Structure 1
């Protein structure tokens, strides 16, 4: 069995706790079955074990370098990226007509989870290309699709998302990269610079294809004037396109994937090809960004899961001390997993990783259903729910993944702080996710200031309805009475506090939004509690039906109990904060620091 993820839990999440097989009832996915899904997951595991995991540490120790204007990456990446292309991973979710497999995104994410747990740095290259190619195929002309997507699907060309600039990160309305029209329709001269571009340059592919945001000269200011362009590093005729790698950022983790600083059009020679309509770039890019935000949540869960598996294995093998009740020092030491505090640390990791994975699988199934539905009331309801859950499903795993990997280090003690064990690398690599694809603060503002109000609060209402449905199901399982009561009580208190907070919206907008990140944190805790109650119901039903793997299911129920007793209760402090009339974060003056 792989050491970096729990195959048993992943299958539980997909096929027992949530039935991803219901997607096969949708015509687009109807050629698939549990057999094809398991074949996909087994193939992912094979690549992860044989190609990705063996160079996990090497890619961290031998980080990319900028040499003579080009970034050099680990020599094993070229064959890995080619393998992803040859085996159809890059375009697996696309249609048969495009050479794809019409694979549900849920299964693509699950396979990604395996890759990311094995080697996060190596996993990002092909999936960045998937996102970039998806923008071209969705919004680009037939000419753009024909010229660029085949080589991207094949893994010959790398795709990127080029948004950030030195003075425009979260505030994309301030970007200054400019597109100047030429005499040829659809072709523009691009000039500007981009920073922090993942896989923005490297020597493992023949070309780099940037999906780049820029403002057409004379376009409106703000986000309304942003357009989207395909900007290749090398033009189709083989000549350089005046996209220069100015520098490479050296990071605390996730070192194997280069992050580039690009200068575009330094000699007025960069051509960009307009994607879709002018001034619609940010709208188009949000398709990729929303998918990427759930992807970041899955990345965070995968790394935290790998750290959990490493610390669990260590705890089972490492002898230290004796049971508190054991007074005979001649008795052998016990593995540290026998100590209650070590179990607490392992339960914390298990509750975070498996709870967040459950939420992401739920979101993946929602996304797949939405993608194949005609516009109707039901589709609107699902879209509203997914829109609401996206900042939660990105931010909770990201923030808690840092704490979870930190706990893995703590389980190993001094050994965890050394490079002899992998958990210190997992800890460093986890830290990027609260920043990637929008900081936690941005997602807090998005949730409280925007998502919760969309369609007259439809997403919020649907979330409450789903939670209530789970509570009803849990009440039918007598063995779950206590955790169901605990969860329902918190749901009611949080609902009351949230209503009071939302009422403040029109009284003082600045104070209302001051604690947006805390509201996001609270909803995350609540949603993972909901996911654990769902898992407990699934586990109890399996036990009632005489399941043979009883230890697995008892572990689920005990972890759900831990979550209600140790994690859900943390929401009480946040509820108190929402009732408060004191706002030091608003009143504090910058010069008082």
Structure 2
């Protein structure tokens, strides 16, 4: 079995950097320990190795089809859903009383990472878990009893149905309507597009968490409600009947072809029924719970695909002989060297490794905060919530945007072979390209970061983040070898603060177009600095292990590799902030104009 992720790195991040076992001191997680965490990851790896990874190429080449109103998917999808359902992995984080395992999200996120690295074309269970969680959080006892168990056992699929043809990401413009019925349900009418896993034959039912507007509701996002709209509704006799949800079309995609993206039409026969989730007109507030979970999930998918690409290109570089080392060019009688020995190839591989392991650490930081939000109270809980809110758009964006670049470098390592179907890199490049678009494009995430998260509660969230980073700086300065990198990160924090302060006056004046004009560049700057923090955390853990455990052999090599990659990130990636900061503080405005002729 080819390698697509590193379990050793996963364990390092879990136990030496993010201290997963510390969560078990809280009553909610006290049933677990490192052994149970390991068993869950072993189970996920077994499913990934046997059911997912061997079919990665085949799932792509035999994509879903819509014929006569029915969507068929690769038969391996059903085997996968049955396995994760029976293994309790869909609802692993749910409470015991709801059939879950009360596992930390920190562990659940690693399960997602393993599976998406094996085969991201089987992107089904995150949507189902998110839908079940929304129903469990805000639904009536009837809705919970009807849907949650069937979602968590993998026999029913969950979706998130937001986007409409005329509205796109502008949710205030959705027109799907809901009118009350005498039986307490609502008549739903409208269309939704790009609904991942929106219909398929690997499950018995598909349950849509759908945004719609009740007749007479306020305009804009304040008038949006959330409904449970199943493909098949449950009758009084306990059987399933059609619910007037029609699969109108299926989008054929550049990548991630194993998961159907559907165009759905509701109420063509005036017989589509939905059930209100929570209170009227609060649908978008509820949906943000699932959206934020999905954003971190998309970030994890980006990191996972980049991981698979890294190990594929690393394997190729170790086995592919070409030319001789630059200092041996004239020794034509000597054998060719493996391309991993060429500096530029090593640079590309180190870039991939830095992106994958830096992204994964940031995502695990976010998952740990999610766990702390669940188990803490008062001011501590509020601080954890603010930190999680701040990091969520970054955790979605950095692993996906940088993941695309990372897979591109992996394809470059293979040269011409990377552009062919003989190797999986071309598929990984196609697959990862959607991740910066899913669940809010990079531009939307950037506007969320700069426009809302940096200023929420008087800027308390970034203050909390900087305080956390300062803890890492203090730990790093206790090691002579890490002091230069602590100094570099300190300078970057000052630079980020200066850039932020230079932009805030535009927001204070109400000139939000100017304030957010280059928000995407600000996101890139913020992401580089945040992941530098994660790399310094890893450097502290690695240096501590080398000094206190005196490891040898592969263990010593692992920690040395960590330090080497940390140095690479600081010397190759962090300097890019200088150009970004220069542009962000530049007074020349070139993208705000009423006259579009400049683009002709």
Question: TM-score, structure 1 length as denominator?
Answer: 0.98
Please say if residues 199 and 260 of structure 2, whose CA atoms lie closer than 8 Å, have aligned partners that are also in contact.
Answer: yes
SS in 1 for 2:454: helix
CA contact (8 A) 2:157 2:203 kept: yes
Q: Is the Cα–Cα contact under 8 Å of residues 195 and 262 in structure 1 kept in the other structure?
A: yes
For 2:279 and 2:508, locate their aligned partners in 1 and report how far apart those are by CA, in whole Å: 36
Write the distance in 2 (CA, Å) between the matches of 1:481 and 1:276.
52
Instruction: Determine the C-alpha separation between the residues in 1 that align with 2:429 and 2:469.
Output: 32
Aligned residue for 2:575? 569
**2:205 matched residue in structure 1:** 207
Partner of 1:413: 415
1:228 aligns with 2:230: no
In structure 2, what is the Cα distance between the partners aligned to 1:512 and 1:46? 49
Q: Deviations over 1:332-378 (max 9, x none)?
A: 1111111110110001101111001011111111110111223x111
Contact 1:498–1:578 under 8 Å retained in 2: no
Which string of whole-angstrom CA distances, capped at 9 and with x for unpartnered residues, describes residues 138-187 of structure 1?
100000111111211221111111111001221101000000111122x0
Give CA-to-partner distance per residue, 1:76-127, whole Å, 9 cap, x none.
11121111111111111111111111011110110110000000011x2122
Moved more, 97-106 or 490-499: 490-499
Q: In 1, distance between residues paired with 2:2 and 2:61?
A: 22
Q: 1:345 aligns with which of 331, 342, 348?
A: 348
Work out the CA distance in 2 between the residues paired with 1:12 and 1:430. 25
Match of 1:334 among 310, 327, 337: 337
More deviation in 285-294 or 507-516? Answer: 507-516
CA–CA distance in 2 between the matches of 1:459 and 1:60? 41
Answer yes or no: is the 8 Å Cα contact 1:201–1:208 preserved in 2. Answer: yes
Supply the distance in 1 between the matched residues of 2:152 and 2:450 (Cα, whole angstroms).
38
Match runs of 1:31-70 below 5 Å: 31-70=31-70
Alignment partner for residue 272 of structure 2, among 250, 270, 273?
Answer: 270
2:108 equivalent to 1:103: no
Show the 5 A alignment for 1:278-289.
278-289=280-291
2:387 equivalent in structure 1: 385
Separation of aligned partners in 1, 2:595 and 2:304: 40
2:295–2:439 Cα contact (<8 Å) kept:
yes
Q: Using the TM superposition, give the Cα deviation of residue 298 of structure 1 relative to its aligned residue in structure 2, in angstroms.
A: 0.5
Deviations 1:304-328 (A, max 9, x none): 0100010011111111111111131
Q: Is it true that 1:3 corresponds to 2:7 in the alignment? A: no
What secondary structure does 1:325 align onto? helix
Contact 1:363–1:389 (CA<8 Å) still a contact in 2?
yes
Unpaired runs of 5+ residues, structure 2, are none
Residue matched to 1:148: 147
What is the rounded CA distance, in whole Å, between the counterparts of 1:535 and 1:239 in structure 2? 54
How does 1:126-145 map onto structure 2 within 5 Å?
126-145=125-144
Match of 1:23 in 2: 23
Note the C-alpha offset of 1:589. 2.6
Partner of 1:450: 452
Q: Distance in 2 between matches of 1:565 and 1:509?
A: 34
* Contact kept in structure 1, 2:361 and 2:534, CA below 8 Å: yes
Q: Does 1:537 align with 2:540?
A: yes
Instruction: Tell me what 2:306 maps to.
Output: 304
The separation in 1 between residues aligned to 2:506 and 2:598, in whole angstroms, is 27
Q: Answer whether contact 1:2 1:49 (CA < 8 A) is retained.
A: no
- Please name the residue that 2:118 is paired with: 118
1:502-513, aligned counterparts within 5 Å? 502-507=504-509, 508-513=511-516
Check if 1:552 corresponds to 2:558. Answer: yes
Which residue does the alignment assign to 1:76? 76
**Is this contact kept in 1: 2:126–2:294, CA < 8 A?**
no
Does the CA contact (< 8 Å) of 2:249 and 2:262 recur in 1?
yes
| 1:384 partner SS | helix
* Counterpart secondary structure, 2:436: coil
After superposition, the Cα gap between the structure-2 partners of 1:390 and 1:356, relative to the gap in structure 1 and judged at 3 Å, is same
Q: Which residue of 2 aligns with 1:490?
A: 492
TM-score by length of 2: 0.97
Structure 1 segment 240-251 matched on structure 2, within 5 A: 240-251=242-253
Report the CA distance between 1:588 and its aligned residue: 6.5
Aligned match of 1:394:
396
Q: Structure 1 pair 278/529, CA: closer, same or farther in 2 (3 Å)?
A: same
Indicate the SS of the match to 1:76. helix
What's 1:404 paired with?
406
Check conservation: 1:60, 1:256, Cα contact below 8 A.
yes
Deviations 1:242-276 (A, max 9, x none): 00000000000000100000010001010101111
Whether the aligned pair in 2 keeps the contact of 1:384 and 1:455 (CA below 8 Å) is: no
| 1:181 counterpart residue number | 180
Residue among 468, 471, 476 paired with 1:469 = 471
Partners in 2 of 1:509 and 1:155 — Cα distance? 45
Task: Report the counterpart of residue 91 of structure 2 in structure 1.
Answer: 91
| CA offsets 1:504-528 (integer angstroms, 9 cap, x no match) | 3224322111011111111001001
Contact 2:99/2:149 (CA < 8 Å) preserved in 1? no
Tell me the C-alpha RMSD between the 2 structures.
1.1
Hey, what's the Cα distance between the residues in 1 that align with 2:375 and 2:167?
35
Alignment check: 8 A CA contact 1:294 1:390 kept: yes
- SS of residue in 2 equivalent to 1:255: coil
Partners of 2:126 and 2:297 within 8 A in 1: no
Give per-residue Cα distances to partners, 1:464-512, cap 9 Å, x unaligned: 1111121111111101232222222222222222222223322432211
- In structure 2, distance between residues paired with 1:463 and 1:345: 30
1:570 counterpart SS class: helix
What is the CA–CA distance in structure 2 between the aligned matches of 1:256 and 1:315, rounded to whole Å? 29
C-alpha distance in 1 between matches for 2:126 and 2:515: 38
Secondary structure, aligned partner of 1:469: helix
Query: Shift of residue 37 of structure 1?
Result: 0.4
Task: Give the 3-state SS of the residue equivalent to 1:44 in structure 2.
Answer: helix
Task: Give the counterpart of 2:376 among 367, 373, 382.
Answer: 373
Aligned-partner Cα distance in 1 for 2:518–2:6: 36
Alpha carbons 2:321, 2:338 under 8 Å: kept:
yes
Q: What is the CA–CA distance in structure 2 between the aligned matches of 1:222 and 1:184, rounded to whole Å?
A: 28
User: For 1:538 and 1:297, how far apart are their aligned partners in 2?
Assistant: 24
- Residue 354 of structure 2 is aligned to residue 354 of structure 1: no
Q: Is it true that 1:13 corresponds to 2:17 in the alignment?
A: no
